[in-house]
Amino acid sequence: QKEVEQNSGPLSVPEGAIASLNCTYSDRVSQSFFWYRQYSGKSPELIMSIYSNGDKEDGRFTAQLNKASQYVSLLIRDSQPSDSATYLCAVDLMDTGRRALTFGSGTRLQVQP
Amino acid sequence: GAGVSQSPRYKVAKRGQDVALRCDPISGHVSLFWYQQALGQGPEFLTYFQNEAQLDKSGLPSDRFFAERPEGSVSTLKIQRTQQEDSAVYLCASSLAGGGDEQFFGPGTRLTVL
């Protein structure tokens, strides 16, 4: 089992719809969770960070964290074609002893105009 | 302010050559990370510095890989005797404090070993 798991997609949604991206992780004591957006040929760009259970909203983006279920998600409202990218979930896994982020393989999102 | 910068952006090396990749983190950021990203995968951790101290190098794939940050700012990742399997994008990230903080990535260096 991978430490951070994401569905590779592609997830295809029509323009204006809500895109829902999911991520599960292996460590029950992780404290820091991040979503990065990566356009093809570019480097990851931080879009959301979340540290406590519940929802965190920033513009069209909402991150949701449930530590008991070891689950973090990203909702993108009013999806735009410019949101088409790969979304990477990253977790600071405490049980690895490693002071760096562990990334999922990413979910490719396609927003259809 | 300026973000993380990396150079060169692209590097083509013949198998067996040594390469050096440079990272200039965001000013004032204490922590610096190197990751390797293969096509279609998420970044994989290589090594981590806090100021000039290399606190974790557990992700370096072999002893051909070496990283340093002698003055606690600019870092260099060196790969000796490059192999084809070293071909990847090498990403540098920095954060204000420790590993649990938000990390900001540079544009990456795409290394191709022929």
Least confident stretch, A13-17, A54-58, A98-102, B40-44:
A98-102
B18, B96, B98, B109: which is closest to A43 by C-alpha? B109
Of all residues in chain B, the percent with pLDDT exceeding 90 is: 94
A47 neighbors A8 (Cβ within 8 angstroms): no
Which DSSP category does A76 fall into? E
A78 neighbors A64 (Cβ within 8 angstroms): no
Residue A97 contacts by C-beta under 8 Å, 6 or more apart in sequence?
A: none
Mean pLDDT of B47-53: 95
- Burial readout B1-22 (b: 16 or more C-beta within 10 A, e: otherwise): eeebebeeeebebeeeeebebe
pLDDT of residue B45: 95
pLDDT of residue B71 exceeding 90, the answer is yes
Mean pLDDT of B44-71: 95
CB contact under 8 A, A92 and B100: yes
Mean pLDDT of B89-111: 93
Query: What is the rounded distance in angstroms from the CA atom of residue B47 to the CA atom of residue B54?
Result: 7
Of all residues in chain B, the percent with pLDDT exceeding 70 is: 98
Q: Which two tokens stand for residue B96?
A: 């204000």
CB contact under 8 A, A104 and B42: yes
B31 neighbors B54 (Cβ within 8 angstroms): no
Q: Which two tokens stand for residue B61?
A: 């794939």
- Measured CA angle at B88 (ends B87, B92), to 5 deg: 135
At A1-51, the pLDDT tens digits run 679 999 999 999 999 999 999 999 988 788 899 999 999 999 999 999 999
pLDDT of residue B104: 97
Mean pLDDT of B23-34: 96
At A59-86, the pLDDT tens digits run 999 999 999 999 999 999 999 999 999 9
pLDDT of residue A88 exceeding 60, the answer is yes
Q: Is residue B44 within 8 angstroms of chain A, CB to CB? A: yes
CB contact under 8 A, A43 and B100: no
Task: Give the one of A98, A99, A103 whose C-beta lies nearest to B43's C-beta.
Answer: A103
CB contact under 8 A, A105 and B42: yes
Query: What is the rounded distance in angstroms from the CA atom of residue B114 to the CA atom of residue A37?
Result: 30
Mean pLDDT of B51-71: 95
Q: Which of B7, B31, B34, B45 to mutate to test the interface with A (most CBs of A within 10 A)?
A: B45
Residue A99: band (very low, low, confident or very high) from pLDDT cuts 50, 70, 90: confident
User: Cis before residue A113, ω within 30 degrees of 0?
Assistant: no
User: Cis before residue A10, ω within 30 degrees of 0?
Assistant: yes
SS3 B46: strand
Q: Is residue A68 within 8 angstroms of chain B, CB to CB? A: no
Chain B residue whose CA is closest to A99: B99
A20 neighbors A75 (Cβ within 8 angstroms): yes
Pick the more confident residue, A97 or A13: A13
A89, A110, A109, A92: which is closest to A101 by C-alpha? A92
Residue B99: band (very low, low, confident or very high) from pLDDT cuts 50, 70, 90: low
pLDDT of residue B97 exceeding 90, the answer is no
Which DSSP category does B31 fall into? E
